Amino acid sequence: MTLDFTDRVQRVEPSATLAISNKAAELEADGVDVVDLSVGEPDFDTPQNIKESAERALEAGETGYTTSQGIPELREAIAEALHDRGLDQYGSENVMVTPGGKQALFEIFQTLVDDGDEVVLLDPAWVSYEAMAKIAGADLKRVDTAQYDFRLEDALGDLRGVVSEDTDLLVVNSPGNPHGAVYSEQALQGVRDVAVNHDVTVISDEIYDQIVYDGASYTSLGTLEGMRDRTITVNGFSKAYAMTGWRLGYFAGPEELIDQASKIHGHSVSCAVNFVQHAGIEAIRNTDDAVDEMRQAFEERRDMLVDLFDEYGKDVPEPEGAFYMMLPVADDDQAWCEQAIEDGHVATVPGSAFGTPGYARISYANSKERLREAVDRLDDEDLL
């Protein structure tokens, strides 16, 4: 029998980050010691209070289906957290709880993007934005921020040249993956002006909003004048709370978006896991100290890596948030990353996977000892 695959699935490639992670796992299964800097996953355990909350929910029998949109208590806690960030346009009725932030994004693309619609990405862009847009049938346009060391305020002229009356959706990710940039309020005001002038809906992916360094000012896009009703805010629990495997995320937007997206949600995942949603309430309300400790550890690792690379003459744009940095490498970044993992046993992700060749993304969600080991191995293989 010959299977006839759809156009939509053949438009996309497998996730580059997962492919590298799988390669690292294969080497480790063969007994090779791999320093895996490819995965966007905190290396901390989920805070104890969150785990205990999940255990209590399990013991209480919170194991069945919930309302598709999410349990009311969690949606209310999310709305309160959004209000604290200045997003007072969102009530619990404006929140959709999803099994992970990735599912939230997928539902938004499926709800808003038709065949031939134009989606604009800011490169380097997280790998799944492109895939989700292509699955929905979008035409992609891209803005290169790497030439400005990922400073969006310097790329606003390029953004204005790309976004037009034909643009249907713009995706903004700050703090960002893979570059760790935190877009300034000036930059986001420029985004606002472009979006308002061309009547464009904007996804603001803020999954790393609690991982910001050096007292950097963080602005949520939907708080800006003119953006209240055209911004869809995406967030989740994976990064700040070290809950990647729990699969819990959400998006917030106009109530009519929630109503329409609920069709996709209800016919695909039904709802997020019941007891995990209860743990999410605990995460939002009672985990600030643990989040601060993890953030401080990430910042110390970032500082150490920037200094180490500087010793080798590598000028790395210093991230202000998230836990990634973009290391300038050879023009053929794919070959560089292959050599790094095959010969140095260091797993990284080629920048071309994010639309930005000539770089390798490094995740510093790993111990200082292992990060130093990775740099030493790269040097040993003449990759620095």
User: Regarding predicted confidence, which is higher, 298 or 25?
Assistant: 298
Phi/psi for 27 (5° steps) reads -65, -40
105: in domain: yes
Q: Give me the CATH number covering residue 356.
A: 3.90.1150.10
Last residue of a domain, one of 285, 302, 318: 285
Residues 97, 180 within the same domain:
yes
Residues 23, 73 within the same domain:
no
Residues 247, 354 within the same domain:
no
Task: Name the residue among 144, 135, 203 with its Cα closest to residue 168.
Answer: 203
Residues 258, 219 within the same domain:
yes
The residues near 30 (Cβ < 8 Å, ≥ 6 apart) are none
User: What is the predicted pLDDT for the residue at 88?
Assistant: 96
- 3-state helix vs strand vs coil in the chain, percent to 5: 45, 15, 40
Q: What is the tens place of the pLDDT at every residue in 74-128?
A: 999 999 999 999 999 999 999 999 999 999 999 999 999 999 999 999 999 999 9
Mean per-residue pLDDT for 31-36?
95
Q: Give me the CATH number covering residue 130.
A: 3.40.640.10
Residues 116, 239 within the same domain:
yes
DSSP E strands in the chain: the ranges are 35-36, 95-98, 118-123, 139-144, 167-173, 201-205, 231-236, 249-252, 324-328, 346-347, 349-350, 359-363
55: in domain: no
Last residue of a domain, one of 285, 307, 327: 285
Residues 216, 193 within the same domain:
yes
User: What is the predicted pLDDT for the residue at 255?
Assistant: 97
Residues 206, 333 within the same domain:
no
Q: What is the tens place of the pLDDT at every residue in 236-281?
A: 999 999 999 999 999 999 999 999 999 999 999 999 999 999 999 9
2: in domain: no
Parent domain of 299: 12-46+289-375
Task: Name the residue among 40, 1, 272, 367 with its Cα closest to residue 176.
Answer: 40
Q: Does 140 have pLDDT greater than 80?
A: yes
Residues 321, 201 within the same domain:
no
Pairwise CA distance, residues 125 & 108, whole Å? 17
**Count of Cβ atoms closer than 10 Å to residue 60 Cβ:** 10
Last residue of a domain, one of 258, 285, 312: 285
366: in domain: yes
